[in-house]
Amino acid sequence: MIDINLIRENKDLVKENIKKKFQDKKLPLVDEIYDLDIEYRDTKKKMDESRAEKNRLSSEIGTLMREKKIDEANQIKEKVAAMGDEIDKLTKKEEELAKTIKEKMMMIPNIIAPDVPIGEDDTHNVEEQRFGEPVVPKYEIPYHADIFESVNGLDKEASGRTSGEGFYYLMGDIARLHSAMIAYARDYMINAGFTYCLPPFMIRSDVVTGVMSFEEMDAMMYKIEGEDLYLIGTSEHSMIGKFKDQVLKPENLPYTLTSYSPCFRKEGGAHGLEERGVYRVHQFEKQEMVVICEPDQSNDWYEKMWKLTVDFFRSLDVPVRKLVCCSGDLADLKYKSCDVEAWSPRQQKYFEVGSCSNLTDAQARRLGIRAKGENGTYYLHTLNNTVVASPRGLIAVVENNYQEDGSILIPKVLQPYMGGMKKIAKK
């Protein structure tokens, strides 16, 4: 959610930003909010003036009663009673206006960074840098599900019986490799100075609407029937929600946290589910990083965070690239974002394995995350980034370490988590 002062003082800037995000249907909201805000402030002014006058008259009643001027006191009492009814009406109107304004404000996208490329969808995202040499071996690399099955590592037939499409059983050494990656990611982030957390895997609706837009919420989240609880789509949701309605001490900033969680997503819409494989599924596991920091530090943290993901995958012998997200591919709360994509030697192209985002104060305004400085309270900035999400990260490691004889080499950094095993042999 943006600062309403932007609409009060620079409507054109807000409208231009909406156009850059190709959300022209939201343009009328800006004028609606502007007019409602004028009405809200006028109502609040009248209410404050009426309350001040009521308090003045109430104190006057006491003076008149002490002076035995009963008739005059009773006349003022009647006036005060009438003012009380008017104040109640103004209070109700103020509350209704504030609620309407907030609902409309939450639909206005965050102001994007000046260097965000303008484009309508992800086809306009821009490759900025590559890390590691993408290799295409002379031998054929099978589809990842076939590789997993060749080492008895995947059973989607059984998950179809228990859970339906979009779920899977990882088995044996593949399951162990998956867990090794998650464990290594945890230690990697702890060594980078982040505090390890295990968050709640369910959150309330007021936290969900604080961390994402209504459109994202409907498209992603699973709701628990009969309760005000949602399964998280990423641990970022819980981790940012941890600071809801908190006034933090500047000397304790930044908060640098890394969290593990299972993640649950509907994955509906155009992308759909992957029938055979495990690239796009309803359930996966992820190691995340989250930062809460001073506003003037968020750009520096953004650069540090995506580089951590790049270095993580390079340590697993996976070539990657940084892809800058264009304006139309940014979720409403994002100031800027980039994807880290891993090389697929089978497809001979890159695919997304992580996403880093700076949301400036958009989430903080929704959730009331502030700090108290010498000049009063102010909103902080929030950032999030994927360390690794598996099975996607698992696919990248397996494809890039697949050998001609059907075996899979285990990256050196993962071998201690695999009991010293150096490769997974074809069964």
What CATH number is associated with residue 46? Answer: 1.10.287.40
Q: What is the dihedral of CA 407, 412, 414, 416, to 10 degrees?
A: 110
Asked, for residue 272, whether it belongs to a domain, the answer is yes
pTM: 0.89
Instruction: Please provide the DSSP assignment of 104-124 as one string.
Output: HHTTSPPPPPTTSPP-SSGGG
Same domain, 92 and 140: no
Residue 196: count of CB within 10 angstroms of its CB: 13
Which regions in the chain score pLDDT beneath 50? Answer: 270
Q: Which domain holds residue 273?
A: 122-424
DSSP H helices in 106-171: 144-150, 156-162
For 388, half-sphere exposure in the C-beta direction (CA atoms, 13 angstrom radius) is: 30
Amino acid letter at 382?
T
Same domain, 143 and 91: no
Same domain, 62 and 139: no
Query: Which pLDDT does position 198 carry in this prediction?
Result: 97
Query: Which pLDDT does position 270 carry in this prediction?
Result: 47
Asked, for residue 110, whether it belongs to a domain, the answer is no
Looking at the structure of the chain, the number of domains it has is 2
Which residue is associated with the tokens 């206006």? Answer: 97
Tell me which of 57, 74, 105 is where a domain ends: 105
What CATH number is associated with residue 209? Answer: 3.30.930.10
Instruction: Please provide the DSSP assignment of 54-72 as one string.
Output: HHHHHHHHHHHHHTT-HHH
Give CA–CA dist 193/125, Å, rounded. Answer: 31
Q: What are phi and psi of 283, to 5 degrees?
A: -140, 135
Same domain, 153 and 234: yes
Q: What is the pLDDT of residues 224-259, one digit of tens each?
A: 999 999 999 999 999 999 999 999 999 999 999 999
Same domain, 133 and 182: yes
User: How far is C-alpha 169 from the chain's CA centre?
Assistant: 28
Same domain, 96 and 156: no
Tell me which of 70, 105, 140 is where a domain ends: 105
Query: Which pLDDT does position 268 carry in this prediction?
Result: 57
Asked, for residue 325, whether it belongs to a domain, the answer is yes
- The packing angle between helices 172-191 and 392-400, to 10°, is 100
Asked, for residue 175, whether it belongs to a domain, the answer is yes
